[in-house]
Amino acid sequence: MSAASTKRLRQAIMPWLITVVLLILWEVLTRASGISPLILPPPSAIGQAMLRYHEVLSQNALQTLFTTIIGFGLALATGILIGLAIGASSEIYSGVYPLLVAFNAVPKVALVPLFVLWCGIGSIPAVLTAFMLSFFPIVVNVATGIATIEPEMEDVMRSLGARRDEILVKVGIPRAMPYLFASLKVSITLAFVGSVISETVASNDGIGFVLMGAAARFEVSLVFAGIVIVAVMAVVAYAICEFLEARMAHWAFRARTQ
């Protein structure tokens, strides 16, 4: 086996190894210290809760995944369009960017009651909350990628007869790809946060709804089981974004060498 293959194997094993070690430490410490399961259940109890409530958790996990993907998709489409406009025009940047900063500063939890008032309890508030949380990183990163085209590159393209829109398409968009994928890996996790936040107060299904019901019944193991499922879905979504980054922006992808 070559050195490169050995290194890739170690990189693939390390996350699983660290996770197993942390779970073992968690199990040992909770049992040795005598901490009540109502405060911090051991991983074994969480696993039992996942098996016991697997139907409820799976159904509600699909609901959370659905609202997250819809909200993230809307944020992706809207964020790319607005990011392109902001990055390509200094006038639009001056007019819109301060509003986006103010928009991002608004606590999204405070908007959930408004979404309920406007749309009622259900999936729409969760979709909107996921959209609100995942929108800003995409806009900022795409705009940054477009706005940081080297002046020398623009001069070369103009000398070759390229129009402004051709420079944007042939240089700006490819340059913005690494920035876009960096934002996607952040935004997809924020979208899960937004969906779960909304489901805790404005839904009759979803993992957030399960968490609130379990907490009210003092089923702490079930609360942790729901958290674990959301975390696993977020990690899988992150890995998908990373896979797409390596395939679609491979020319800018830097392998970790340390």
Q: For position 251, which CATH number holds?
A: 1.10.3720.10
Clarify whether residues 47 and 22 are in a common domain: no
Residue 37 dihedral angles phi and psi, to the nearest 5°? -60, -20
Both structure tokens of 32: 């040795």
| Regions of the chain short of the pLDDT cut 70 | 1, 4, 251-258
Q: So what's the pLDDT on residue 1? A: 62
The letter for the amino acid at 14 is M
The letter for the amino acid at 211 is L
Clarify whether residues 64 and 175 are in a common domain: yes
CB atoms within 10 A of CB 71: 29
Domain count, the chain: 2
Q: So what's the pLDDT on residue 252? A: 66
What is the spatial distance between Cα 34 and Cα 47, in angstroms, rounded to a whole number?
19
Clarify whether residues 197 and 74 are in a common domain: yes
Task: Determine the straight-line distance between the first and last CA of the chain, rounded to whole angstroms.
Answer: 19
Q: So what's the pLDDT on residue 148? A: 80
What is the spatial distance between Cα 144 and Cα 88, in angstroms, rounded to a whole number?
10
Q: So what's the pLDDT on residue 128? A: 95
User: The domain containing residue 135 runs over which residues?
Assistant: 38-257
Clarify whether residues 10 and 62 are in a common domain: no
Clarify whether residues 14 and 132 are in a common domain: no
Angle separating helix axes 173-202 and 220-248, nearest 10 degrees: 170
